[in-house]
Amino acid sequence: MVDDMKVVVNQRLTGVIMKTDIHWVLTVPAICSDLAKQFMRQAAVKAGITTESLTIVLEPEAASLYCQHLPVNTTVTDGSLTKSQFPPGSKYMVLDAGGGTIDITVHEVQSQNTLREVRAANGGDWGGTMVDKAFENFLIDLVGETVFDTFKHSETEDWLHLSRAFELKKQAAGAQSEGNVTMHFPVSLNDLFETENESKLCIKDAIVASKYGKTVELKRDKLKISHSTIGKLFEESLEQIVQHLQKLMKDERMADIKTLLMVGGYSESLLLQRAIKSAFPGIHEVIPQEASSAVLRGALIFGHNPIAVTERVLKYTYGIAIYQPFEDGKHPESKRMKTDKGDCCRDVFGNLIKKGLSVTPGETQVRKQYTTGNKKQTGLCFDIFISEEKTPTYVDDKSCTKIGTIEIGFEELDDIPGRIVNLTMLLGGTEIIVELEDEKTGNKVINTAEFWG
């Protein structure tokens, strides 16, 4: 993509664009883990983008920014949206409904150029492709799994045509309720069905006899599907989204939310818009006309005029593996370790910072001291973990995932245990930085972007 972009830019512009003239803004979903963000940065560096010329932006933040810059008359719900609808102090929910994921974040406007994250991103995989999957299941209901699988694999071109045709019907769904939705039924699928059934049964009769007997009809190569059958394909995805939103709205922090920003391609769906409107009558939906490109447009604005996000809510508890003095009965024998300070229990989850806390990006949030357990110890190594739990017990609990390691070595060794190492951690931006300092010498180790993963 980087190469393609350069080709396009050089074709369209006279004069040479230097590498240093370009600043890249890469967007990632807010539910992306820190690890995934690091991965994106590494991928970008591999593609020839220098770290200094790259900003990683969370998608709902980009979308928010775009919506704050919307001119009057560009929203679908009503034409009255102006910037004043986001005065400082106002809270709103951003729903980014894409193909794969539904990403929900709550923001509060602090001033014209700053935002505060009120609730950490969350959501699930109930996006537009869930409807595509429902369409596949519908076809399986009509022709059977074996025929459908063969069709998909051996008649891939026809299958692609059919999926593209469905994409258009999906986008139009909800616009009409009279008549039927008509789609071309591929001859190859018909042939495969007849071969499978040794020509004893034709697909037309099979449909009449199926549960779709009254709602679906095949006439020559035209498949006529009732609007309600098309609507049913959306049902599960809509239910999941609405239920999830309902659960979120129950939270008292959400009580004063009056506005829902709907962005992402799936937000353009009339069925999704209607489902949300009827489930939340008191909420004002703002749907920009270019919902599907709101993130992209917002990223562009961000590149020219970055907003500061003043607070973020931690999605995980961060911790490291530590040793604790061994207590019989409390600690498992399997974790017993001998050290010069006596028996210890290893793999204990040492909390650095807890999930749910609001943190200010760019400020150091964690300062801790650790000491060595052995004399002549040559260094200290920390495995860093995240957990979905607020207070996990051991780092090998199910809820914990190791996200990296940081290590500091000592040049002159001590004759007694207890050498002090200071650990500081800075998080809440789109990345995390951990630093270790050997108190005796002042030597420091800071993690680099490449260090995670």
Ligand X SMILES: Nc1ncnc2c1ncn2[C@@H]1O[C@H](COP(=O)(O)OP(=O)(O)OP(=O)(O)O)[C@@H](O)[C@H]1O
Q: Which of 105, 269, 377, 430 binds ligand X (CB under 6 A)?
A: 269
**Residue 60 interaction partner, one of Mg ion, ligand X, none, beta carbon < 5-8 Å per kind:** none
Rank residues 98 and 428 by Cβ distance to Mg ion and give the closer one: 98
Q: Is 98 in the site for Mg ion (CB under 5 A)?
A: yes
Residue 153 CB neighbour total at 10 angstroms: 9
Rank residues 61 and 347 by Cβ distance to ligand X and give the closer one: 61
Contact 346, 321 (CB under 8 A): yes
From 14-22, 44-52, 90-98, 154-162, span contacting Mg ion (CB under 5 A): 90-98
**Residue 128 interaction partner, one of ligand X, Mg ion, none, beta carbon < 5-8 Å per kind:** ligand X
Rank residues 263 and 436 by Cβ distance to Mg ion and give the closer one: 263
Rank residues 295 and 434 by Cβ distance to ligand X and give the closer one: 295
Q: Is 350 in the site for ligand X (CB under 6 A)?
A: no
Residue with the two structure tokens 């409107």: 277
For 339-383, the DSSP string reads ETTEEEEEEEEEEEE-TT-EE-TTSEEEEEEEE-SSTT--EEEEE
Q: Is 98 in the site for ligand X (CB under 6 A)?
A: yes
Assign 228 to helix, strand or coil. helix
Q: How far is the CB of 372 from ligand X (least distance, A)?
A: 45
Assign 236 to helix, strand or coil. helix
Which residues make beta-bridge pairs with 134?
none
DSSP 434: E
Site for ligand X in 165-194 (CB under 6 A): 167, 170-171
Distance CA 373, CA 420 (A): 10
Rank residues 167 and 389 by Cβ distance to ligand X and give the closer one: 167
DSSP 21: G
The gap between the terminal CA atoms of the chain, to the nearest Å, is 24
From 1-9, 67-75, 164-172, 197-205, span contacting ligand X (CB under 6 A): 164-172
Which residues make beta-bridge pairs with 93?
106, 260
Distance CA 218, CA 119 (A): 49
Distance CA 207, CA 226 (A): 13
Q: Which of 85, 101, 317, 387 binds ligand X (CB under 6 A)?
A: 101
Site for ligand X in 27-56 (CB under 6 A): 29
Assign 299 to helix, strand or coil. helix
From 48-56, 79-87, 91-99, 239-247, span contacting Mg ion (CB under 5 A): 91-99
Contacts to Mg ion by CB under 5 A: 98
- List residues binding ligand X (CB under 6 A): 29, 98-101, 127-129, 167, 170-171, 264-266, 268-269, 292
